[in-house]
Amino acid sequence: MAINKNTFTGHIKEGICDMCFIWAREMRSIIKDEGVLIFFILVPLLYPLLYSWIYNNETVREVSVAVIDQSKSHLSRQFLRQYDATPDVKVAYFCNNLEEAKDLVAKQAVHGIVYIPSDFQTNINRMEQSHIQVYCDMSLMLTYKAIFQTATNVCTQLNKLIQIQVAGNPTSREDEISTQPLAFDEVAIFNPTGGYGSFIIPGVLMLIIQQTLLLGIGLGAGTTRENNRNQELIPMKQHYNGIFRIVLGKTLCYLMIYAVLAAYLTLIVPRLFHFTTLIQPQALLGIMFPYLLACIFFGLMLSCLVRYRENVILLVVFLSLPLLFLSGVSWPQNNIPGVWQGISWLFPSTFGVRAFIRINSMGATLQDVEFEYQILWIQALIYFFAACLVYRYQIGKSKK
């Protein structure tokens, strides 16, 4: 059976015309809806700036510590002098007992306690091992790290001095070998400052793209249902006679908006706050395109669950923190239980965050993140057909 070329061309033109009409109508509805504009424009523009500014210092300095020195010896004073001289901690209070120090921690005047027992130097003079007790407020991991790691480093330096005194070596070279028989250099890979911002911000930026897309799409869908605008599909059926055209028209609208916002979030924000960035343009473009498509189709599919505008805000905000954990940024991916790893595969942010961190912080190429790249395309394909089925059901229900 021969296919009329003119008829085929006419169908293509008609499909493009319908997509453009739906794109224009969706763009107008976004501009008119203040709530959608907030989540599509203001939140992606301002929230990353606020979040990056909060973590711009990267590390904590001068963490207040209370000290209980029961030894009052030369060695204990030397330890405290070196401990206070470090940039990470500050000896703010000297207490007589542990109860006084606990009260200071309860009042948040200090974030940790250093307890030096009375037999501290006596045990060392007897050639016995001595101990220093460190208590940390675990509500803030950065302060815990500063207090405990600084105490460990100062103890290491004092151990070297004691080893030199006990060894009685005639030369400084022998002292070096006695205190450090195996020399090593500590190099922080991909995060030379050891800062929290360079570590967490890239993952947060990618999560913001997904969450704001879900909020905006869901908010628009909730507005449509509240105003009973589904009936508008019937008088304009000449433009809504194909499910693919509807989904692709809406997708084109969201993709145009978030192509600009994604460039802002991934290229401009890290450089504004001098975070580590080793992005290669080809790798970034290769990941962002399927990631945006997967997020958009995922949002269109979930829009069927939104009956009221407030529902989507509660749902998406509740999921934000769990999704950050499930991405494997703040907790090792291998230590996440298998059930939760399976759940994390449902969300585009899981693979988008992992791929972007490797591209941004490690200078990875598209071949290095090939697995995440393939999964994002698979998600985009699955959620596209799922969104088409959802819209087919909704339109059929509205016509009835």
Indicate which CATH number applies to the domain containing 154.
3.40.1710.10
Is the CB of residue 303 less than 8 Å from the CB of residue 214? no
What pLDDT was estimated at residue 141?
Answer: 78
**Does 230 share its domain with 368?**
yes
pLDDT of residue 295: 94
Model pLDDT, residue 226:
62
Domain boundary among 115, 148, 179: 179
Provide the domain limits for residue 356: 11-55+195-399
Q: How far apart are CA 376 and CA 378, in angstroms?
A: 5
pLDDT value, residue 2: 46
Could you tell me which residues come within 8 angstroms of residue 224 by beta carbon, excluding any fewer than 6 positions away? 230
Same domain, 170 and 79: yes
Q: What is the pLDDT of residue 240?
A: 52
Domain total of the chain: 2
Burial (CB < 10 A; 0-12, 13-18, 19+), residue 134, is middle
Q: Which two tokens stand for residue 87?
A: 């940039």
Please tell me whether residues 278 and 299 are part of one structural domain: yes
Domain match, 245 and 375 both = yes
pTM of the prediction?
0.79
Residue 89, SS3? strand
With both helix axes pointing from N to C terminus, report the angle between 243-263 and 281-302 in degrees, rounded to the nearest 10. 130
Write out the chain's pLDDT in tens, 400 residues.
445 555 656 567 777 787 888 888 888 888 888 888 888 888 899 988 888 887 777 778 899 999 999 988 999 999 999 999 999 999 999 999 899 999 999 988 999 999 999 888 888 888 888 889 999 988 887 888 889 999 999 998 888 888 877 777 777 777 777 777 777 777 777 777 777 777 888 889 999 999 999 988 888 777 766 665 444 443 344 445 678 888 888 999 999 999 999 999 999 998 888 887 888 889 999 999 999 999 999 999 888 776 666 777 777 778 888 888 888 887 788 888 889 989 999 999 999 999 999 999 888 899 999 999 999 999 999 999 999 988 887 777 666 6
In a domain? residue 351: yes
Joined tokens for residue 187: 């190099």
Residues 109 and 25 in one domain: no
The answer to the question of residue 3 being in a domain is: no
d(CA 130, CA 76): 11
Which residues share a beta bridge with 114? 67, 134
Residue closest to 214 by CA, chosen among 312, 346, 354: 312
For residues 269 and 45, give the distance between their C-alpha atoms in angstroms, rounded to a whole number.
Answer: 9
Same structural domain for residues 50 and 73?
no
Identify the burial level of 100 via C-beta atoms within 10 angstroms of its C-beta, where 0-12 means exposed, 13-18 middle and 19 or more buried: middle
Stated as kind and residue range, the H or E segment containing 66 is: strand 63-69
Last residue of a domain, one of 127, 150, 179: 179
**What's the pLDDT at 1?**
45
Kindly state whether residues 39 and 113 are assigned to the same domain.
no
Q: Which residues contact 152 (CB under 8 A, 6 or more apart)?
A: none
Q: How far is CA 234 from CA 71, 374, 400, in A?
A: 86, 39, 11
8 Å CB contact between 68 and 116: yes
Within this chain, do residues 292 and 345 fall inside the same structural domain, yes or no? Answer: yes
**Residues whose CB falls within 8 Å of the CB of residue 153, separated by 6 or more in sequence, listed in order:** 86
Pair 210, 321 in one domain: yes
Cα angle, residue 55 at apex, residues 215 and 269 outer, rounded to 5°: 60
Amino acid identity of residue 332, one-letter, is P
